[in-house]
Structure 1
Amino acid sequence: MDANEPADRIPTGIPRADEVLEGGLLPESATLVRGAPGAGKTIFGLHFLTTEHGRDGTNLYINLGEPTAYLERTADGFGFDTDAIAFLDLSPSGDQFRTDNTYDLFRSGEVENPSLVDAIREEIEAIDPDRVVIDPVTEIRHLTPDERQFRTQILSLIEFLKGAGATVLLTSQAAPSIPDDDLQFLVDAVVNLDVERNRRTLQISKFRGSSAKRGPHTVTIDDDGMAVWPQLDPSEHGRDGAMERLSSGVPELDSLLDGGITMGTITFLSGPTGVGKTTTGLHFLKEAASRDRRSVLYSFEEGRRTILERAEAVDVPVREMIDAGTLTVEEIGPDELTVDEFTHHVRTEVEDESAEIVMLDGVTGYERAFRNSGSDPEHQLVKIARYLRNMNVTGLVTNEVHQITGEFRATERNVSHLADSIVVLRHVEYRGELCKVIGVLKMRTSDFERSLRTLEITGEGLIVGEPLSELRGILTGTPDWNDDDG
């Protein structure tokens, strides 16, 4: 928030929407909530009037579209308490227009009759509301013979409400056939609710007198109502930390890494299926737990139960680590979360739960999990990596390459640039046997050992052998060896 912005804000009552609005709406302002039918405008208004802060005052819902009974049923369905709301039913089927004389207002050309405006003014003066919702304000357009008079009436109404000390929400049925550009000019803030490709979003296109987070931000609606999941902006986050080393607990692997992984950097563990990427990552988490450092593992490929069983089989006591609070394991399947929801989970673990290591197990599964969320998963992975670095959190990412043998590739996507370090694991044929090797391809923060070592996965954990100085051509897929080197 800018230093010149007022400290007082009016909460919307929608989880995390106020984070996007840098604290909430400005007091005694008018906000236009616009969107297509079904975008969530009415739910937005109900949240605004039933929030805990809203219940401390008087609230008025002026319903020009749906009758009060419908709105009350909608509110009940989400568990909203409408006791603190006064409804002024100006809908075509509402109590205010049950007689022919008043219902005539909905015929064109009746704008000289001031009954509609008078009804609103009388209600405002009678209850002196702190918050007012007019839903939808675009219905008033049907009562006016021209656009000029519509704008004059709306501006007069807004100024009257703000002058009475109310903070106002107006909803608009945004559609190409019903433009609302004029309304956007008249209000202080514009909130856009969109539904596209099964993804709901919120975006602030105008916020007079304040800043707001750039969107679009994911919106979800469930039995509890609406929730906003702000888009991750790595530039807004940062903290200092020492350039320490994170050991794997395996001396030979640490030797390859010149002592271990540098804290606050991103390391890719890259190789084909079954080569030991996840197991290698788990050893870093085990060593971190022994130093009372907290980790979180997001599994995109395997179930949580499978992860726990595999870890125990290689002497990584994940259940003990979980019980001690040094490890959290979360399984995330396809379409369970949007990318914005996931990044919120990551932020919660880092900022609220003090996680120092975040492991993303499976880039392929990560992309599959979020491919229908309306965002580019690869672009979001870049942002997650930047966020972790800025927060001095160590990132471990397992990346599967589908070619089990043959010419080596560090990744099969354009993501290798994200990595500060790349540890490669390979299946090779050595002296007539299939075995695994491990090496370091890249480390930005320090020197590293450039040899390859054998890798075994046993019931006691990882066993990393001596450098294979006699091997040649492993990364080309056609290794050979020189016995004279031994």
Structure 2
Amino acid sequence: MDNPTTDISTGNATLDAILGGGLTGNRIYLLDGNPGTGKTTLGLQFLLDGASRGEKGLYVSLSETKHELDAIADSHGWSLDEIDIYELVDPAESLDAESQYTMFQPSEVELGETTRRMLDRVESLNPRRVVLDSLSELRLLAQNPLRYRRQILALKQFFVGRDCTAVFLDDKTSPDNDLQLQSIAHGVISLDRMPAEFGDERRRLRVVKFRGRKFVGGWHDYEIERGGVTIYPRIAASYNELPPNEFGKLLSGNESLDRLLGDGIEPGTSTLMLGPAGVGKSSCSTLFAATACGRGERAVVFVFDESKRTLCLRSKGLGMDLTKFEEEGLLEIHQVNPGAVSPGHFAEMVRQAIKPRADGSRVSLVVIDSLNGYLSSMPEERFLQVQMHELLHYLGSCGVSTFLVVAQHGMLGHAMQTPVDASYLADTVILFRYFESAGSIRQAISVVKKRDGGHERSIREFHMSDGQIKVGEPLSNFHGVLAGTPTYTGDKADLIKPRDGDE
């Protein structure tokens, strides 16, 4: 027989990692959450994992019938044939008039009878894993906190003494915040479900306590899918899982733009593309990705605001054939559905996308286009900037460079506003602006921040035409850039000459 304190799996590999290796054997655990959060699904996964290892499992149900449990298992493609399911409440018996008590309070008889029947079943089966669903029924039968606590303590001593690991489910139907169980259980896992005003509701999981074990704290997003519960752990749990890349400086392939940036961008850093809509931020970030692919490096683009098809067509018009790089396996484009992604899910998408392939190839660059779409997809989320900081720190620790696109609201002047201040997160900030010259609207680009080296302090014209991106020479007679209303007062001959037909 295995050591009673040997770690055992919860049946969910990600949850095992969050717990620091799984559950400590021969202990009792509390899994609580409101109805619909997936407690039963996780409980069944725990028992099914034991069955796959040849361990006997017992599911004690005080609220759901065997038929309902079979239906849940069938929805996930599981079979419960290897698990003993014991229904403690017989509906036919409970409705029988002769079974109703008249001389004693029903709870005085039913609590003892319910407990006795459950313990008899455990003794006869001698399981290694037990799930009790749910404690709210025992709480109602006990009627007072003292009696309830004593009953749970008695159950704890019974299970621990039998070399059995038990998971108690609680649906939080008590009107008070009952901490009785949390103080008794060896570990507590809490499930939560938050409805959204638009889009899919968000489910999240938190390890409240685990005695004698270091675990990954905080909330972890998860979803209930066919096959069980899919957990998206905080990206902090994955720090240092990959050694840093050994790529050199990132170059755009445009000599003037690279010179503006001080001969490229250091690997593992983050770059913020900031400016109004349509000024060229996305095209410039895509240029860095396409150039990296042209050098044989891998790149990943996450698109929130436009379709993958539109991105490929727009880029092809500027001389960047993204479809070709995709076919060669050098580029991945992920179109993110704004209404169906939680912060944890998105972080997990990024983490999976940068994993090394079987041939050892690594991703050198990730583009997130844009943070506006990321924020809009999760308008009710708090602390998104902190979550983004965790993501950037993780990518940096892996040596992956990140380009963040942020579209400012408004087009010109003081009316322009930034939906999220991510400038302090980024190592490099590239500012795009519109400016007026001789009745024409033109675009300007400048680097206002670069932590890891020197850069030009000049302002250059930025132009997209003739199937390419052009960056002009430094423009000296320029005023009002930071105010949002740049005005060029120099010689028009210094500007990029438009092609025939352009204004």
Which residue among 354, 363, 370 is the counterpart of 1:362?
370
Following the alignment from structure 1 to structure 2, what is the Cα–Cα distance between the partners of residues 79 and 451?
Answer: 62
Distance 1:59 1:485, change over 3 A: same
Which residue among 204, 214, 218 is the counterpart of 2:217?
214
- Cα distance per residue 1:190-223 (max 9 Å; x no partner): 1111223343221111111212211222232233
Aligned residue in 2 for 1:162: 160
Indicate if the aligned counterparts of 1:66 and 1:91 stay in contact, CA closer than 8 A.
Answer: no
Letter of the 2:322 counterpart: V
Which residue among 236, 245, 253 is the counterpart of 1:249?
253
Following the alignment from structure 1 to structure 2, what is the Cα–Cα distance between the partners of residues 407 and 244?
Answer: 39
Following superposition, the deviation at residue 242 of structure 1 comes to 5.2
Stretch of structure 1 that moved more, 133-142 or 47-56 = 47-56
> What SS does structure 2 have at the residue aligned with 1:134?
strand
Aligned: 1:417 with 2:424: yes
Distance 1:402 1:463, change over 3 A: same
Letter of the 1:439 counterpart: S
Distance 1:445 1:101, change over 3 A: same
Aligned: 1:378 with 2:385: yes
Stretch of structure 1 that moved more, 323-332 or 147-156 = 147-156
Following superposition, the deviation at residue 130 of structure 1 comes to 1.7
Aligned residue in 2 for 1:275: 279
> Mind listing any 5+ residue stretches in structure 1 that lack a counterpart?
1-5
Following superposition, the deviation at residue 80 of structure 1 comes to 2.1
Could you state the TM-score of these two structures normalised by the residue count of structure 2? 0.86
Following superposition, the deviation at residue 241 of structure 1 comes to 5.0
Which residue among 149, 152, 166 is the counterpart of 1:151?
149
Indicate if the aligned counterparts of 1:266 and 1:394 stay in contact, CA closer than 8 A.
Answer: yes
Following the alignment from structure 1 to structure 2, what is the Cα–Cα distance between the partners of residues 32 and 335?
Answer: 32
Indicate if the aligned counterparts of 1:15 and 1:227 stay in contact, CA closer than 8 A.
Answer: no
> What SS does structure 2 have at the residue aligned with 1:133?
strand
Indicate if the aligned counterparts of 2:5 and 2:24 stay in contact, CA closer than 8 A.
Answer: no
> What SS does structure 2 have at the residue aligned with 1:203?
strand
Following the alignment from structure 2 to structure 1, what is the Cα–Cα distance between the partners of residues 114 and 105?
Answer: 10
Aligned residue in 1 for 2:41: 43
Aligned: 1:93 with 2:91: yes
Aligned residue in 2 for 1:3: none
Q: Could you tell me the percent identity over the aligned residues? A: 29
Following superposition, the deviation at residue 346 of structure 1 comes to 1.0
Indicate if the aligned counterparts of 1:246 and 1:288 stay in contact, CA closer than 8 A.
Answer: yes
> Which aligned pairs between 1:18-29 and structure 2 lie closer than 5 A?
18-29=16-27
Aligned residue in 2 for 1:287: 291
Aligned residue in 2 for 1:442: 449
- Cα distance per residue 1:384-425 (max 9 Å; x no partner): 222222222101011112332336979453221112111122
Aligned length: 478
Letter of the 1:263 counterpart: P
Following the alignment from structure 2 to structure 1, what is the Cα–Cα distance between the partners of residues 109 and 174?
Answer: 26
Which residue among 230, 235, 257 is the counterpart of 2:233?
230
Following superposition, the deviation at residue 73 of structure 1 comes to 1.8
Aligned residue in 2 for 1:345: 349
Distance 1:52 1:344, change over 3 A: farther
Could you state the TM-score of these two structures normalised by the residue count of structure 1? 0.89
Following superposition, the deviation at residue 8 of structure 1 comes to 4.2
Letter of the 2:363 counterpart: A
> What SS does structure 1 have at the residue aligned with 2:377?
helix
Which residue among 293, 299, 305 is the counterpart of 2:303?
299
Indicate if the aligned counterparts of 1:41 and 1:171 stay in contact, CA closer than 8 A.
Answer: yes
Following the alignment from structure 2 to structure 1, what is the Cα–Cα distance between the partners of residues 237 and 213?
Answer: 21
Indicate if the aligned counterparts of 2:239 and 2:397 stay in contact, CA closer than 8 A.
Answer: no
Indicate if the aligned counterparts of 2:50 and 2:56 stay in contact, CA closer than 8 A.
Answer: no
Indicate if the aligned counterparts of 2:300 and 2:331 stay in contact, CA closer than 8 A.
Answer: yes
Aligned residue in 1 for 2:497: none
Distance 1:8 1:278, change over 3 A: farther
Task: Please report the RMSD computed on the Cα atoms of aligned residues, expressed in angstroms.
Answer: 2.9
Which residue among 197, 202, 207 is the counterpart of 2:205?
202
Aligned residue in 2 for 1:108: 107
Indicate if the aligned counterparts of 1:471 and 1:480 stay in contact, CA closer than 8 A.
Answer: yes
Following the alignment from structure 1 to structure 2, what is the Cα–Cα distance between the partners of residues 473 and 108?
Answer: 79
Indicate if the aligned counterparts of 1:36 and 1:173 stay in contact, CA closer than 8 A.
Answer: yes
Letter of the 1:217 counterpart: H
Which residue among 406, 426, 442 is the counterpart of 2:433?
426
Distance 1:242 1:317, change over 3 A: same
Following the alignment from structure 1 to structure 2, what is the Cα–Cα distance between the partners of residues 74 and 109?
Answer: 33
Letter of the 1:446 counterpart: G
Following the alignment from structure 2 to structure 1, what is the Cα–Cα distance between the partners of residues 116 and 355?
Answer: 51
Letter of the 2:368 counterpart: L
Letter of the 1:390 counterpart: S
Letter of the 1:248 counterpart: S
Following the alignment from structure 2 to structure 1, what is the Cα–Cα distance between the partners of residues 100 and 208?
Answer: 36
Following superposition, the deviation at residue 15 of structure 1 comes to 5.6
Following the alignment from structure 1 to structure 2, what is the Cα–Cα distance between the partners of residues 375 and 15?
Answer: 28
Indicate if the aligned counterparts of 2:206 and 2:220 stay in contact, CA closer than 8 A.
Answer: yes
